[in-house]
Amino acid sequence: MGDEKIDKTIMIELSNTFKDAVSDVDVPSPNRAVARIDPGKVKEIMQFLLDNGFDHLSCVSGVDYPPDKMDVVYHVTSYSAPLVITLKASIPRDDPNIDSLCGIYWNANWYERETYELYGIKFNDCPYMKVLLLTEEMEGDWPLRKDYAGYPDLT
């Protein structure tokens, strides 16, 4: 965003703007920042970060915490500052769904599809929620969940 200085003070702004939705803010090193976010507010938070210069969604991934919880992990960085923000949203494991970011970061589409096929996390309003790298027969197996029975494949 032009001359605006982008640094870890964004985390203070973020937690001030979204008082209820952002928690556990931590800045472990000069170019790393971590926070937990409310899954219902993910679109607003990402739009806020995009407006403040964080123009690169680097990664969307999932973590499985059986028996009742799953995490969606977002890594957001900027092309003009050496800072990586890690945002984690916890969602229930029996009905994992979260809002899609495709309308904010255009490249979220493939990340979300891959997270969907590996974990079964549904991204609401993603325009093409289908498997990306697996075969279509494997949709529904969710291979990276902890209770996946197909690993190790010793056949």
Q: Closest distance between another protein and the C-beta of residue 39, in Å?
A: 27
CB of 136 to another protein, least distance (A): 9
Q: Please identify, using beta-carbon distances, which residue of 106 and 151 lies nearer to another protein.
A: 151
* CA gap 89, 126 in Å, rounded: 17
Q: CA 81, CA 53: separation in Å to the nearest integer? A: 9
Residue with smaller CB distance to another protein, 67 or 152: 152
Q: What are phi and psi of 61, to 5 degrees?
A: -140, 175
Site residues for another protein per CB under 8 A: 133-135, 138, 141, 143, 148, 150-155
89-94 own/partner pairs: CB under 8 Å, 24+ apart: 89/36, 89/37, 89/38, 89/39, 89/42, 90/36, 90/39, 91/39, 91/121, 92/68, 93/64, 93/65, 93/66, 93/67, 93/68, 93/69, 94/68
Q: 44 or 141, CB closer to another protein?
A: 141
Residues 74, 63: Cα–Cα separation, whole Å: 11
CB of 112 to another protein, least distance (A): 18
Amino acid at position 18, single letter: F
What's the closest the beta carbon of residue 144 comes to another protein, in angstroms? Answer: 9
Specify the residue, 59 or 144, whose C-beta has the smaller distance to another protein.
144
Shortest Å distance, C-beta 30 to another protein: 36
Q: Which is nearer to another protein, 12 or 133 (CB)?
A: 133
